[in-house]
Amino acid sequence: MDIGKFTDKERLVFYNLLKYPDYGDKKISEVSGVKASTVSAIKRRFKEEGLFRSIIIPAINKIGYELIMVSYGRFSPTADRKAKEAYFRKISEDKNIFYAVEGGNIVFIISVARNYSEVKKTIDSYTYFLNAHNLADNTDWHFLLFPFEVSKLINYFDYHHIFAQMFDMEDSVDVDVGYEDCTPYHLSKKEKQALYGMIKFPDKNDLDIAREMALSRQGFSNMKSRFKEVGLVSRKNVLDLQKLGIDILALSHSRFNPRTPLKERSYGIRKILESTPQLLMLSGNFENLMVGAFRNYEHFNRVKLNALKIYREHDFLRGEPDITLIPMQSARIIKELDFSEIMEQVLNLER
């Protein structure tokens, strides 16, 4: 898509839809200064064109999952096409994976695990598959673990940073470097049904979701309100990066100076968030994974040099970041960002 064809009103509305995904059209009108009827028309058209979609993300750290795993790597140049397809099927069938993309012979996966034993079995399984099918060497594949209790989801699929960077818009940033709240929320059977319904049908109204899940409308609405109050769910509006014309998805794995733990880096994190078109930033005390989306290589290189300057000025880095680039216009989305399969497993826990 030619992003230069966006009008000023469309840019304002789109940015605020991404930044305030819980807002209705009236509230978006208030913060953007665009008439509510125009907001509704723009929102409807952009959704019909597939430029964005809405999802509900559960606080998986509160419902039995202890960590996030990010894995990425490059296939061997001699990798067999049928073996690759078998690997993609393995990814598609893994219900712990909630996002996966392949491009330029590079695969990037995000998944969850209930505990270290489970994630170790997963790593062993994928490592065996890659090597048994001559898809990659061990040195070509990386598995990064971020346990919730000692990690922070600094940006967890907020796309407004990307949009603001694309159009040189001012973008306010809030930074909280405290570890994730892992206080468990014990779901009743009906609450599991309600939560699954919210995640499976993010665009349906309360009555329709209640019917789908065999719940009363009032009961579902009460549970939905309670989930929001305790921080169990969050709504996100997710960009289609390919349709928006993003050329590069950049994965950056950084290791940090032991003298600069997470709280000591809060100023640097703010500066990075303000200047980087990122959609994901996971950080522990001494390592970080950031995923950014860039218009082209020149854009990527400019942002990279600025980020490195910030890190080096404060002596944050321990060695150079490991940066991997995925060409998005030719990329294949193996799994769209979606948490419904994870919730299916939560529902199955008592079956």
Instruction: Write the DSSP assignment of 177-217 as a string of letters.
Output: -SPP--------HHHHHHHHHHHH-TTS-HHHHHHHTT--H
**69 and 107 both lie in a single domain:** yes
Of 39, 22, 42, residue with least CA distance to 30: 39
Digit-coded pLDDT (tens) for 160-209: 999 998 888 888 777 777 788 888 999 999 999 999 999 999 999 999 99
Residues 319, 316: Cα–Cα separation, whole Å: 10
pLDDT of 1 > 80? The answer is: no
Residue 183 has phi, psi (to 5 degrees) of -60, 120
Quick check: is 192 in a domain? Answer: no
| CATH value at residue 68 | 3.30.70.920
Q: Is residue 137 part of a domain?
A: yes
Q: Which two tokens stand for residue 27?
A: 């509230």
Residues 6+ apart with CB under 8 A from 276: 161, 165, 290, 292, 303, 307
C-alpha of 48 from chain center: 22
pTM above 0.75, yes or no: yes
In a domain, 24, yes or no: yes
Q: Tell me: the pLDDT tens digits for 293-340? A: 999 999 999 999 999 888 888 888 888 899 999 999 999 999 999 999
Query: For residue 20, what is the domain's CATH number?
Result: 1.10.10
pLDDT at 138: 60
> Do 144 and 71 belong to one domain?
yes
> Considering the domain boundaries, does residue 20 fall inside one?
yes
Whether residues 39 and 77 share a domain: the answer is no
Q: Indicate the number of domains in the chain.
A: 2
Token pair of 270, please?
Answer: 């703010």
Across the chain, mean pLDDT equals 91
Are residues 41 and 78 both part of a single domain?
no
From first CA to last CA, the distance across the chain in angstroms is 46
Q: What is the rounded CA–CA span in Å between residue 63 and residue 218? A: 23
**40 within some domain:** yes
pLDDT of residue 2: 55
Same structural domain, 22 and 85: no
User: Is residue 10 included in any domain, yes or no?
Assistant: yes
Domain presence at residue 155: no
| pLDDT (tens digit per residue) in 114-133 | 999 999 999 999 999 999 99
Q: pLDDT of 227-268, one tens digit each? A: 999 999 999 999 999 999 999 999 999 998 888 888 888 888
Between CA 197 and CA 212 the distance in angstroms is 7
The answer to whether residues 76 and 132 belong to one domain is yes
The string of DSSP codes covering 71-127 is EEEE--TT--HHHHHHHHHHHHH-TTEEEEEEETTEEEEEEEESSHHHHHHHHHHHH
Residue 338: which of 103, 157, 165, 179 has the closest Cα? 157
The H or E element containing residue 255 is: strand 248-255
State whether 42 and 67 are in the same domain.
no
**Residues 68 and 18 grouped into a single domain:** no
Rounded-to-integer distance, Cα 151 and Cα 262, Å: 9
Same domain, 125 and 89: yes
Q: Are residues 136 and 68 in the same domain?
A: yes
Indicate the pLDDT class of residue 351, thresholds 50, 70 and 90.
very low
| 73 and 144 fall within a common domain | yes
Smallest CA-to-CA distance from 278 within 265, 262, 294 is with 294
Is residue 310 in some structural domain? no
- Give dist(CA 165, CA 291) in Å, integer: 14
Domain that holds residue 66: 60-149+332-339
Tokens for 264, please give them. 């000591």
Count of beta carbons in the 10 Å neighbourhood of residue 110: 23
